[in-house]
Amino acid sequence: MAEPASHLPEPARWPEQPGPGLGPAPDDGGREQRAALARLGLVVAAGLVAAALAGVLTTVLVVLALAVMILAHEAGHYVAAKRSGMKVSEFFVGFGPRLWSVKRGETTYGIKALPFGGYCRIVGMTSAEQVSPEDEPRAYRNQPAYKRVVVASAGSIVHFCLAFLMLFVLFLGPGDAENFVTNPAASNPIGAVDSFAHQKSPAELAGLKAGDRILAVNGHHFSTWDQMTAYLRARPGKRVALTVESGSRIFTARVVLANGAEVRLAGTSAPLFSRPTGLLGVEEGRVRFGFVGSIEHAGTAFASTVVSSVTGVVKVVGNVSGYMKMIESQKAASSPHAERFVSPVGVVVLAHETAQVGLPYVLWLLIIINVFVGVFNMVPLLPMDGGHVAVALYEKARSVLARRPYHADVNKLAPIVYAVFALLLFYGVSALFIDLRQVFS
């Protein structure tokens, strides 16, 4: 019996030869992508040049470091998903209009206009997602529970690793405050006295010098440098009495704190702070540790920062009345003791302030952001990464008990997802409002 015509082999053909002046079809798509990438590179380069001319290059570099952290978060999901055999259809940094993209294999990579995050689209993240039959075996939802847990938590794991690495670098290189780790008896040693542009700092007027220890301020004793700094920052332009230990001598110095929004450090072009802030003009004493000691202290500091991030989230979400007061009152939001979420605008302001002070402060800002984002993403509620971890573990437990595969119906979780999304939207918009109000005021 003869085979159908569609199964017959095609007759041999001579290779087609291009006619005069003709060649292979131009790769217009690739040329377009390269041109778009080149334009984006020129825009970034022009932005860096403009930042350098405006004297804010360091601030811009800190913001770019934050963008790299976002990229690293998504790369964690991407690598874990690829290594687990899942299909990743998109990998983008940013949201909104697409600036540049290119497809390599089965994945489209790109950059979008709003650098407020990013995403790694893995096929079949929930039971409600429509997936083509050929992709179903590689869908996230059909993988073993341990693979799904690893993929969902990979972004936070990357943030934790970055935070630990930066802590290690901080303790090994620039050094950190002596009283941060385990030595509250250090009594706030002074590491350096700052010089202000066009005027002497209060610390210089008081005759303070590196190595002196501030025992008390207005009779108040502080166990950490941060506590003392918060007390001083809340008193711009106010007179304070410092009890100082200098060698074997203890004396009292009375000074008027400077306003950090009105002074600049020598060699800088912008005020040190964006809002009224009490400033003495001293930097905390710093110590460095060896390789092993830096690992040990990095672990201690990492654990305490995780605890602080968890308690901070609980306090912000649990203190609704206090948060509403911050929305209503700029004074309440500007208090050194105010605990609230910070918008991307606020992060840029913090980046600028820390960049003016020095590398250790920049590292601490990046460390705190990495830990906070890692902790916050692991909240066990969809659409957070921790929600996907919780679903995977719940499905595994139900499958073991029922002795057959079980998939949760995410449609039943829709009210929770919408509630969480609404909460995130509320805190995001309100944080942006508070930060913009402080900037424009």
Establish if 239 belongs to a structural domain: yes
Q: Is residue 39 over pLDDT 60?
A: yes
Region 160-178: mean pLDDT is 85
Give the model's pLDDT for residue 28: 57
Total domains in the fold of the chain: 1
* Boundaries of domain holding 220: 184-287
Q: How confident is the model at residue 184 (pLDDT cuts 50, 70, 90)?
A: very low
Establish if 219 belongs to a structural domain: yes
Establish if 169 belongs to a structural domain: no
Is this model's pTM higher than 0.85 or not? no
Establish if 440 belongs to a structural domain: no
The 3-class secondary structure across the chain, one letter per residue, is CCCCHHHCCCCCCCCCCCCCCCCCCCCHHHHHHHHHHHHHHHHHHHHHHHHHHHCCHHHHHHHHHHHHHHHHHHHHHHHHHHHCCCCEEEEEEEEEEEEEEEEECCEEEEEEEEEEEEEEEECCCCCCCCCCCCCHHHCHHHCCHHHHHHHHHHHHHHHHHHHHHHHHHHHHCCCEECCCCCCHHHCCEEEEECCECCECCHHHHCCCCCCCEEEEECCECCCCHHHHHHHHHCCCCCEEEEEEEECCEEEEEEEECEECCCCCECCCCCCCCCCCCEECCEEECEECCCHHHHHHHHHHHHHHHHHHHHHHHHHHHHCHHHHHHHHHCHHHHHCCCCCCCCCHHHHHHHHHHHHHHCHHHHHHHHHHHHHHHHHHHCCCCCCCHHHHHHHHHHHHHHHHHHCCCCCCCHHHHHHHHHHHHHHHHHHHHHHHHHHHHHHHC
Establish if 253 belongs to a structural domain: yes
Q: Is residue 432 over pLDDT 50?
A: yes
Establish if 236 belongs to a structural domain: yes
Q: Supply the CATH number for residue 283's domain.
A: 2.30.42.10
Q: Is residue 181 over pLDDT 90?
A: no
Establish if 82 belongs to a structural domain: no
Q: Is residue 348 over pLDDT 70?
A: yes
* pLDDT tens figures, 210-260: 878 888 899 988 877 778 888 999 999 999 999 998 888 899 999 999 888
* pLDDT tens figures, 47-77: 888 888 887 888 888 888 888 898 899 999 9
Establish if 270 belongs to a structural domain: yes
Give the model's pLDDT for residue 211: 78
Among the ranges given (71-75, 78-82, 300-304, 335-339), the one the predictor scored with the smallest mean pLDDT: 335-339
